[in-house]
Amino acid sequence: MGPSSLIVMLTDFGIEHWYDAAMKGEILRRVPYAKILDLSHHVPRQNIESAAFILHCAIDSFPRGTIFCCVVDPGVGSRRRSLVGRIGEFAYVGPDNGLVTPLLERDPHVDLFEIKSPTFRNPVVSATFHGRDIFAPAAARLVLGDDPRMAGPRVTDPVRLPPFRARREPDRVVGKVMLVDHFGNAITNVGRGDFESELGARGFELALRELRLSGLSSNYSEATPGQPICYWGSSAFLEIAINFGSAAETYAIEVGDPVTITLGR
């Protein structure tokens, strides 16, 4: 796979301050022709699992060769490794904390390396901002066509997160809220591929905080304004929403909240 000029950024920095801009500046002063696209800077703070879930949902929308520069890094400055390398059709730059898991699950062809070489980092590295001083420079080196093997020793045991899938029990499905989007929709880890036929055939009651729902909708317009619904979202996971409203605000839903689906007989 040849070098790509597309870098996709995923962080929990927000956009209110200078952190994401500083990373982009580090890339552009090395490679002015680089293309930089924001996947999200609004990952829930320090939530590696939510960041990996976003990456999982978005990967298929990007072209071969895309470099994913991912910085959700509560272990910054610790002994956790900094990674750069290629995984199948894509490349990854970021901490070795499990965020790379969605790429690892897609392709067994993994060439990851720990960033040790001064060429792949700034001369002075802050203990609290590896996004600017390590990951942005490393992403730029990939755009320039540098072989990631030049960065440092090979990593054969990257940290992996547990599967996102909800748990099947004898009479129920137990999952959780993975993300709350801009509209206040709660996106769960109940996958369509795992549970669509069963939920459709047996009927169910979904419980999330004080909310109780039974039956699936196919889109928002099937509900009256203010009515809560659940449906298979565009990411192929079960979502909970309120038509013309915010499910998260109405029911105080937060990332990590348990979702229980009791199956009919």
Q: Are residues 182 and 95 in the same domain?
A: no
Q: Are residues 22 and 107 in the same domain?
A: yes
Asked, for residue 194, whether it belongs to a domain, the answer is: yes
Among 122, 155, 188, where does a domain finish?
A: 155
137 neighbors 155 (Cβ within 8 angstroms): no
Q: Are residues 136 and 210 in the same domain?
A: no
What's the total number of domains in the chain?
2
Residue 105 neighbours by CB distance under 10 Å: 16
In angstroms, the CA 168 to CA 191 distance is 11
Q: Which domain holds residue 94?
A: 6-155
CATH of the domain at 44: 3.40.50.10790
pLDDT number for residue 1? 47
pLDDT less than 50: residues of the chain: 1
Side chain identity at residue 35, one-letter code: K
Query: For the whole model, what pTM was predicted?
Result: 0.93
Asked, for residue 161, whether it belongs to a domain, the answer is: no
Q: Are residues 112 and 147 in the same domain?
A: yes
DSSP 8-state symbol, 238: E
Q: Are residues 26 and 94 in the same domain?
A: yes
CATH of the domain at 190: 2.40.30.90
Please enumerate in sequence order all residues whose Cβ is within 8 A of that of 2, keeping only pairs 6 or more positions apart, or say none: 65, 145
Share the mean pLDDT of the chain: 94
* H or E segment to which residue 138 belongs: helix 136-143
Asked, for residue 160, whether it belongs to a domain, the answer is: no
